[in-house]
Amino acid sequence: MFKAIILLKRRDDATLSDFSTWWLGAHAPLAKTLPGLRAATFNLVAGDGSGTYDGVSELWFDDQAAFEAAYATEHGKAVAADSMAHVSRRERLLVVEHVLLPLV
């Protein structure tokens, strides 16, 4: 299965609480309705916010074409724009997942 891992750093003017409230309360509901999305996980980075990133999302699609098609839609463009409006840094890692030990 194809997965996008997205690393996010909040804007300098946002607290960790601000970031968490926006990301989980406003952005996640938008992201989870991306066309073709098979699964999604949003991970808040533990700590005081002094690290390189504040959040890591994992978005699963059937393949890279499905991922690209999702973000080419008007909804996908709105999801990306919402993200970019609230972060100072965003890195996307496009990976093929190899599960070694599945969750039970």
Percent of the chain with pLDDT over 90: 91
CB 76 within 8 A of CB 34: yes
| Cβ neighbours around 8 below 10 Å, total | 23
Q: Return the bridge partners of 87, or none.
A: 10
Query: CA 58 to CA 60: how far, in whole Å?
Result: 7
Structural domains in the chain, sorted by start: 2-96 (3.30.70.100)
pLDDT at site 104: 85
What local confidence, expressed as pLDDT, does residue 80 receive? 97
- Kind and range of the H or E element at 6? strand 2-10
Tens of pLDDT, residues 44-90: 999 998 999 999 999 999 999 999 999 999 999 999 999 999 999 99
